[in-house]
Amino acid sequence: MIGFFTTVQVALLTIYDMCKAVDRDMV
């Protein structure tokens, strides 16, 4: 279960970074 939670955290961080990059490109 801990491994699953860590995987979700990493996935959210990756998506968050991608969204920031997209926002920078759009602005």
pLDDT above 70 (res 19)? yes
| Mean per-residue pLDDT of the chain | 89
The token pair at 22 is: 């997209």
Rounded Cα gap, residues 10 and 16, in angstroms: 10
pLDDT above 90 (res 23)? no
**Per-residue CA distances from 16 to 1, 8, 12, 13 (Å):** 23, 12, 6, 5
Percent of the chain exceeding pLDDT 70 equals: 93
Confidence bin at 26 (pLDDT 50/70/90)? low
**Per-residue CA distances from 23 to 5, 7, 10, 13, 16 (Å):** 27, 24, 20, 15, 11
pTM: 0.59
